[in-house]
Amino acid sequence: MPTLLVRNAQILVTMDADRREIAGGGLFVRDGFIEKVGTAEDLPTEADEVLDASSQLVLPGLVNTHHHLYQTLTRAMPGAQDVGLFDWLRTLYPIWARLTPDDVFLATLIGLLELAHSGCTTAFDHQYVWPNGSSVDDQVAAATDIGLRFHVSRGSMSLGESDGGLPPDSVVEDEDTILEECIRAVDAYHDPSPGSMTQVVFAPCSPFSVTADLMRASAELAREKGVRLHTHLAETADEERFCLEHFGARPAPYAQELGWAGDDVWFAHGVFVGTTEIEAMAAAGTGVAHCPSSNMRLASGIAPVAAYLATGVNVGLGVDGSASNDGGNLLGEARMAMLLARLNAAPNLAGGPQMSARTALELATIGGAKLLGRADIGSLEPGKCADFFTLDLGRIEYAGALRDPVAAALMCAPTPARHVYVHGRPVITDGSFEGEERLIAEHNAAAKRLTQGS
């Protein structure tokens, strides 16, 4: 059983129940799990691998709770740059219809690698178009290559234009096929055990692209199979109008009516929600993936994160996109969540609900872990997975901010992780991933072919 010793961190942030931040801290890891956390005197002096974290901040690995990795191939697309969600989707659906299995594999590699550079060690992905034979197998293969913990979804769309939905009929699927693929994905990949590297989530796309029947059937099947449920909900005013028009209900009550409430459910966005809806979510244990950059990029609105937290709703963070962000920097997203929450409290920051740097970090770590149903990640404490990253405090971005390096990680410009470990194994070493340049070149070639249609 291989051992790893991390020592001499300028500060190690545990995110444990006491929120300990340990000066001169470190970890002792055996077989991917943390055995000891503390200063040099609490830790062994030797291990199979030793990482000296001098002048570095050691943080629990960040958890991304909403993303569409395939969209790394269509970032900053002309025609989709300056429009709201529905027009953005209408521009991109026909391009996504050309995705191949190789494209999905490559985009998943690049997207996960970009997340890893920002300190992310566990990622959930929500792919909902599966053209030309692409499947969850392509994504799981890519995640295994990168070494990130991966929650893959069997996303879906079934309500095409001819039935009153938003997506063209060419990108929607038959509902029996969707449910069969969900079952196949769980049987092939879902591992609920502690330290699991792969889990499966059922994720119909949104109220305007799937039927009520599929939402209901997905919820029933998820509970039968013991997996979690995720969808986009209450993201834009357009969506709210669509729900009122087609279902006679606002998005949150509509979802609840279909069985989408409980601590096995989390929604992306949750912007257009009222007080009683937030209370109902808190009572049921339903969570929210907050995606501030995407909400700003598409001018969707501002999610009421302070109200969620005050009411007891679990909140995690998602970079979303990648074509509606258009980045995959989760540390940057935590910073964005902090800043947007402050703007939302304006002009009464001092007396009002403000988000601190440490709260933003909580959302990005233990908040995300809760949404994914993981008790084994999100903090650095004995028994938990050795998922962590380090930031180099000698960088120019932190110059003058070392009175409080933990706050600096969120308040200063985000820097790339120096080291990233998942389950005690290195993913990023000294800022590098072997073969990254070649992958970027291949990804750019794939994006060119996909977006030019040749």
Residues that bind Zn ion (CB under 5 A): 320
Nearest of 116, 139, 121 to residue 129 by alpha carbon: 139
What does DSSP assign to residue 61?
Answer: P
Question: How far, in whole angstroms, is CA 229 from its chain's centroid?
Answer: 14
> For residues 103 and 320, which CB has a smaller minimum distance to Zn ion in the complex?
320
278 burial (CB, 10 Å; 0-12 / 13-18 / 19+) is: buried
Ordered alpha helix ranges (H), 285-395: 292-297, 305-311, 330-345, 357-362, 368-371
> For residues 158 and 322, which CB has a smaller minimum distance to Zn ion in the complex?
322
How many residues comprise the chain? 454
Residue bearing tokens 């501002």:
302
What does DSSP assign to residue 171?
Answer: G
Dihedral in degrees, nearest 10, Cα atoms 112, 148, 64, 446: 20
Q: Minimal distance in Å, beta carbon 294 to Zn ion?
A: 7
Q: Minimal distance in Å, beta carbon 324 to Zn ion?
A: 7
> For residues 320 and 333, which CB has a smaller minimum distance to Zn ion in the complex?
320
Q: Minimal distance in Å, beta carbon 175 to Zn ion?
A: 21
Report which secondary-structure segment, H or E, holds 150.
strand 149-156
Q: Omega before 251 cis (within 30°)?
A: no
CB 222 within 8 A of CB 70: no
Beta bridge partners of 52: 7
Q: Minimal distance in Å, beta carbon 329 to Zn ion?
A: 16
Q: Minimal distance in Å, beta carbon 235 to Zn ion?
A: 8
Q: Is 446 helix (H, G, I), strand (E, B) or coil?
A: helix
Q: Minimal distance in Å, beta carbon 15 to Zn ion?
A: 26
Q: Minimal distance in Å, beta carbon 304 to Zn ion?
A: 18
> For residues 232 and 384, which CB has a smaller minimum distance to Zn ion in the complex?
232
Q: Minimal distance in Å, beta carbon 68 to Zn ion?
A: 6
Neighbours of 31 (CB within 10 A): 13
**Strand ranges, E, within 66-148:** 120-125
CB 151 within 8 A of CB 120: no
What does DSSP assign to residue 429?
Answer: B
The β-bridge relationship of strands 315-317 and 388-392 is: unpaired
> For residues 240 and 320, which CB has a smaller minimum distance to Zn ion in the complex?
320
> For residues 300 and 390, which CB has a smaller minimum distance to Zn ion in the complex?
300
CB-based closest residue to Zn ion:
320
* Paired tokens of 66: 């909403």
Q: Minimal distance in Å, beta carbon 71 to Zn ion?
A: 9
Task: Report the alpha-carbon distance of residue 73 to residue 65 in Å, rounded.
Answer: 20
> For residues 93 and 388, which CB has a smaller minimum distance to Zn ion in the complex?
93
Q: Minimal distance in Å, beta carbon 127 to Zn ion?
A: 10
> For residues 128 and 421, which CB has a smaller minimum distance to Zn ion in the complex?
128
> For residues 138 and 320, which CB has a smaller minimum distance to Zn ion in the complex?
320
Q: Minimal distance in Å, beta carbon 321 to Zn ion?
A: 7
Main-chain phi, psi angles of 18, to 5 degrees: -90, 0
Q: Which residues contact 311 (CB under 8 A, 6 or more apart)?
A: 278, 279, 281, 282
Report which secondary-structure segment, H or E, holds 284.
helix 275-284
Q: Minimal distance in Å, beta carbon 120 to Zn ion?
A: 16
> For residues 7 and 68, which CB has a smaller minimum distance to Zn ion in the complex?
68
CB 95 within 8 A of CB 68: no
> For residues 172 and 319, which CB has a smaller minimum distance to Zn ion in the complex?
319
**Alpha carbon distances (Å) from 305 to 122, 334, 335, 348:** 22, 13, 14, 16
> For residues 87 and 376, which CB has a smaller minimum distance to Zn ion in the complex?
87
